[in-house]
Amino acid sequence: MSNIVHHYWFDMQMIGNFLSFASRGDRVGLNEMLRQGMPPNVQDYDNRTALHLAASEGHASIVELLLAYNADVNLRDRWQRTPLADAKLYQHRDICRILELNGGRDLMEDHEMHVCLEDDPQENIDISELNLQNSSIIKQVS
């Protein structure tokens, strides 16, 4: 095992760069880091992987590259979402097909997720009915 691989495990900046390449669709930068030994399944503070980010942003060639390096197609992020769930959310049909052909599952379909309104805790919204295309960031309440 080379020294560069050992250092990747501890260098959050390198992991950040790797995930940024995936999010931006930088195939050259991502491929270089993978060739140098960066594990394809590293996760950020929200447990999101490069595959989650590429699926969310619609970068099919990045999804294919990560799968070629054996990225885990069903890792869940902090919200229990898989890369396929993200691709579906942002309507990237080509990426949905790629992920499904590689064993990807949308584990969110198995569980209904409800959002509780602060003013009336008895009122629930089925999150699957929300249109998030033009949404803004919502603070998660614990």
Query: In this structure, what CATH number is given to the domain that contains residue 51?
Result: 1.25.40.20
Global model pTM greater than 0.75: no
Residue 88 lies inside a defined structural domain of this protein: yes
Residue 136 lies inside a defined structural domain of this protein: no
pLDDT of the residue at 29: 97
Residue 85 lies inside a defined structural domain of this protein: yes
Closest of 72, 11, 21, 14 to residue 47, by C-alpha: 72
pLDDT of the residue at 12: 85
Residue 32 lies inside a defined structural domain of this protein: yes
pLDDT of the residue at 89: 95
Residue 70 lies inside a defined structural domain of this protein: yes
pLDDT of the residue at 115: 43
In contact, 52 and 45? CB cutoff 8 Å: no
Looking at the structure of the chain, the number of domains it has is: 1
* Domain that residue 7 falls in: 3-129
pLDDT of the residue at 71: 98
Residue 107 lies inside a defined structural domain of this protein: yes
pLDDT of the residue at 10: 55
Q: From the CB of residue 23, how many other CB atoms can be counted at a distance below 10 Å?
A: 18
| 3-state secondary structure (DSSP) of residue 104 | coil
| 3-state secondary structure (DSSP) of residue 116 | strand
The single-letter code of the amino acid at 51 is L
In contact, 69 and 42? CB cutoff 8 Å: no
Would you write out the chain's pLDDT as a tens digit for each of its 142 residues? 444 555 445 588 899 999 999 999 999 999 999 999 999 999 999 999 999 999 999 999 999 999 999 999 999 999 999 999 999 999 999 999 999 999 999 987 655 444 444 554 445 555 555 555 555 555 555 4
Residue 92 lies inside a defined structural domain of this protein: yes
Quote the radius of gyration of the chain (alpha carbons, Å): 17
